[in-house]
Structure 1
Amino acid sequence: MRIGLETESYHLAFQNGLMDIFGFIRKTAELGLDGVMINIIALPGDKYIHPEWGTLGGEDPDHLERVRKEIKKYGLFAEIDTRGTDPQHLTKVINVANTIGADVIRTYCCFNGYERERLERAPEDIKKIVPLLKRYRIKLAVENHEEETADEVIKIVKEVNSPWVGVHCDIGNSMMAWEEPVDAVRKLAPYAYTTHFKDHIIIKDEDQYRVCGVPVGKGNIDLEKCFEILVNDSTLTRINIEMCYPYVSIFKREKGTGGVSELGKGAFKVEETPFDPSVIKPSQYYYPPEEHLISLLKAQMKGVEESVKYVLGLRDKYCR
C-alpha cells in the first residue's frame, strides 16, 4: 500500500504564502511518502492560493510541466482534488491531470450544505465526461463530502455504471452526516478508487457541538478497523493522508440521517477543544487571527509528522 499526502494537511502554510506546490512535493518526499494529492479548490479567504487552481498554482503549460517533472523527480504518484460535476469544469481538470501525470480525480457534489438537486443531476453530468476519462486512463472518484451518506454516493456511482467512475472514501466526513465512520468505510470500500485518511473528535463550541479535526491517531475514529477494511475489502493500492487540523465543521445533516442519533460514544464521544477556547475559538481555527498564526502553524506541522508516523505504522501492521 502506497501512502500519499493531501495539500489540505498544510492549509495554513499555503494560505499564508509559506508553501507552494513545489515545496509541498519536496516535503512529501522528505516525509518518506509515496504520492501527492493536490487540492485545486480555493476559498474566499485564501489570499495566497490561486483563485481557480488552488494549491496547484495555475494552469500555464510551463508551470504544469515543472510540476510534472518535480513529481516524477521524486517518483511520486499524483492525484487531484476538485469539486462539482459540471462537465465543462471536469473536462478542464481532466486535461490538467493528464498533463501533470495525475491518474485519479476526486470530486464531490454538494458545496455549502445538502443539495438533493445536485446529487440527482450528478450521474448525467458525469456520464458526459466518461469518454475523456477513458481516453486518458484517469479515474474519477465521487466523495462522501460531509453532506452525503455512503449510500447516496454509491447510488451515483451505480447510476453512472462505468469502470472509470468510483468512490472517494473519506474516513471522517461521514460524521457530519451522522454516520459511523467504520460503517461508512465498510460500505464504500468495494467501490473506492481513492481516500482521505483522517481523524476527528466531537467538541462543544459554546452552545453547539461540532466535528473537529485532529492529527491522525489522536481522535476517536477506529482507524485500525478502517485501514484493515480498506486493505481487505477494496482494490486500493494507495491511501492518502488528509490531516484536517486545525479545523472544525458543523453537522451538515439532521440527527439520525446516517444512522447515528446521539453523541457520547465511539467516534461521537465529546472531548475538550484542542486549544484553550478562552485564547482562540474553534471557529477561528481555519483562518486564525494573526497573533495565533505561528502557534497554529507549528501545531499543524507537528500534526502532519504525527499523522504520517501513525499511518506508516498501520501499513507496517496490515500490509506485510
Structure 2
Amino acid sequence: MSAITAFVASATVQPGFADEPVKRSGLGIVMYDCNLRRKWMKKQDPSVNLFDPLTFVQHCRSLGAGGAQVALGSLSRRDCDNLRQFADEHDLYIETIVKPPRDRDDLSRFDAEMKAARNAGAKAARTVIIPGRRYEYFNSYADFKAAAKLGHAMVERALPIVEKYEVPLAIENHKDERIDDRVALLERINSPMVGACVDTGNSFSLLDDVYGSIEALAPFACSVHFKDQSLSEYDDGFLLGDIPLGQGSFDLKRIVEIIRTAKPNLQFSLEVITRDALKVPCLTEEYWRSVTEPTGGDLARTLQFVRRNSAKAISVTSLPLIDQVKLEDINIASSLNYAQRELGL
C-alpha cells in the first residue's frame, strides 16, 4: 500500500464499518457514486462500460447493495427482460434516470425511455428539470425564473406519458428551486405519478432548513438520494461535500424517521459522489443575483448550523486516479455498512 493510499484509508474508514465485509443492505447505489471506477475501467479497456444497466446492477449486487439507480435509456424489450429477471432473482430494486421532454419533438425519446422503465420493472424515474446549480448557472433571478418556467412545462408535457406507463417521475431538488416552490409545483401537478426524488443534502445550498426541507418533500417522495454532508466555512460561504454516511454533519436517523413516517416502504439510494467539496458562495454578491428568496434569518441559521456541525472531507482531485478509485470504493462500502448496522437500511 502506498503512503497516499494509506492516508486515504485512514482518513475515511470508520472502524467497525468499512473494515469488514459488506453485509447485504437494502440501500441502493446511484450510478454517480461510481464515476471514478467507471473512468478507471474505461482506461483499462475502452469497450467496458460500468454504466451498462445490467453490468451496473450486477456490480451493485457484488457490493452488497439492495438496488441500483441507473440510466436505462431506451433498452430493447429483451434487455429489459434480462435486467428484470436478474433483479427479481436477487431481490434488487431498479430505478432509472431520465431527462424530461424538452419539446414536442422530444416526446418520442421520452416515451421510449419510460416504456423501457416499465418493462424493466423500475420503481421510479429520477429526473431534474432546471439545469445546473442555480447560483453557478444563472446570472439573475429573471434568468432562473425563465428556466424554471420551461422546467415546469416539461413536467406537464411528460405527465401523460408518465401516467401511461405508471412509473413515477421523481423530480430531484437539485440545488435549483427552493422547497416552497418545488412543493407548489407538485401540488399543482397533483398526480400520484409525479413526485419527488428527495435529495437529503441539496437544499441546504439554497439556505433551506435541513430537516424542514425533507419534511416538506417527504409526502411526495417516490425516490431518495440519501447522503451525509461535510460542512466547513470558507471566506465566501461554506463548503458542502458528500461524505460517507455517519461521518458528516447531518442527523441521519432523524432523516430516515422523517421519510419512513411519510413513506414506510420507500427505497433509499446512496448518493456519495467522491469529489472535492463544492463551494456555496452565499456571502458573495454573485450568489444573491439568482438566489433572492432567502431572508437574513435563513442565512444566519445556515451559517450557525455549519459552525456547530462542522465536518471536513479530504481533497480528492489531488490524488492519482487509482487512489481516487480506492477512496470511492471505501466511501461506498463504509456507507453501506453504516446504513445496514446503524439505520436499518
1:245 and 1:32 map into 2 onto residues whose CA distance is 19
Secondary structure at the counterpart of residue 320 of structure 2: helix
Secondary structure at the counterpart of residue 220 of structure 1: coil
1:53 alignment counterpart = none
Bigger helix fraction: 2
2:261 and 2:112 map into 1 onto residues whose CA distance is 34
Of residues 299, 316, 321, the one that matches 1:261 is: 299
2:11 alignment counterpart = none
User: Would you say the 8 A contact 2:67–2:93 is kept in 1?
Assistant: yes
Cα shift at 1:127: 2.6
Secondary structure at the counterpart of residue 246 of structure 2: coil
Please tell me whether residue 225 in structure 1 is matched to residue 257 in structure 2: no
2:338 alignment counterpart = 310
Count of paired positions: 290
Equivalence map 1:10-25=2 (5 Å): 10-17=34-41, 19-21=50-52, 22-25=54-57
Q: Summarize the Cα distance change of 1:123–1:272 in structure 2 as closer, same or farther, 3 Å threshold.
A: closer
Q: Write out the 4+ residue segments of structure 1 that deviate beyond 6 Å after TM superposition.
A: 205-208
2:122 and 2:223 map into 1 onto residues whose CA distance is 12
Please tell me whether residue 3 in structure 1 is matched to residue 27 in structure 2: yes
Cα shift at 1:170: 0.3
Runs (5+) with no aligned partner, structure 2: 1-24, 43-49, 135-143, 282-286
Residue type of the partner of 1:104?
A
2:86 alignment counterpart = 70
Cα shift at 1:212: 1.4
Secondary structure at the counterpart of residue 257 of structure 1: coil
Cα shift at 1:240: 1.2
Equivalence map 1:1-320=2 (5 Å): 2-17=26-41, 19-21=50-52, 22-38=54-70, 40=71, 56=72, 59=75, 63-86=79-102, 88=107, 89-114=109-134, 115-203=144-232, 209-251=238-280, 254=288, 257=294, 260-262=298-300, 264-267=303-306, 271=310, 273-275=312-314, 282=315, 285=316, 288=317, 292-316=320-344
User: Would you say the 8 A contact 1:142–1:153 is kept in 2?
Assistant: no
User: Would you say the 8 A contact 2:230–2:310 is kept in 1?
Assistant: yes
Runs (5+) with no aligned partner, structure 1: 41-55, 276-281
User: Would you say the 8 A contact 2:240–2:280 is kept in 1?
Assistant: yes
Bigger CA drift: 144-153 or 117-126?
117-126
Per-residue CA shift, 1:262-303, capped at 9, x if unaligned? 45533565757533xxxxxx5xx4xx47x6111111111011
Q: Summarize the Cα distance change of 1:268–1:117 in structure 2 as closer, same or farther, 3 Å threshold.
A: farther
Q: Summarize the Cα distance change of 1:234–1:66 in structure 2 as closer, same or farther, 3 Å threshold.
A: closer
2:192 and 2:311 map into 1 onto residues whose CA distance is 44
Q: Summarize the Cα distance change of 1:127–1:184 in structure 2 as closer, same or farther, 3 Å threshold.
A: same
Q: Summarize the Cα distance change of 1:205–1:265 in structure 2 as closer, same or farther, 3 Å threshold.
A: closer
Cα shift at 1:243: 1.2
Q: Summarize the Cα distance change of 1:126–1:292 in structure 2 as closer, same or farther, 3 Å threshold.
A: same
Q: Summarize the Cα distance change of 1:9–1:268 in structure 2 as closer, same or farther, 3 Å threshold.
A: farther
Cα shift at 1:35: 1.5
Q: Summarize the Cα distance change of 1:57–1:269 in structure 2 as closer, same or farther, 3 Å threshold.
A: farther
Instruction: Give the TM-score taking structure 1 as reference length.
Output: 0.78
Instruction: Give the TM-score taking structure 2 as reference length.
Output: 0.73
Cα shift at 1:209: 3.5
Cα shift at 1:225: 0.9
Identity of aligned residues (%): 20
Bigger CA drift: 178-187 or 13-22?
13-22
Q: Which has the higher contact order (CA 8 A, sep 6+)?
A: 2
**Larger Cα Rg: Structure 1 or Structure 2?**
2
What is the Cα-based RMSD across aligned positions, in Å? 3.0
1:191 and 1:57 map into 2 onto residues whose CA distance is 25
Residue type of the partner of 1:274?
A
Secondary structure at the counterpart of residue 195 of structure 1: strand
User: Would you say the 8 A contact 1:185–1:226 is kept in 2?
Assistant: yes
Bigger CA drift: 80-89 or 141-150?
80-89
Q: Summarize the Cα distance change of 1:230–1:81 in structure 2 as closer, same or farther, 3 Å threshold.
A: same
Cα shift at 1:68: 3.7
1:128 and 1:147 map into 2 onto residues whose CA distance is 20
2:132 and 2:294 map into 1 onto residues whose CA distance is 17
1:62 and 1:213 map into 2 onto residues whose CA distance is 36
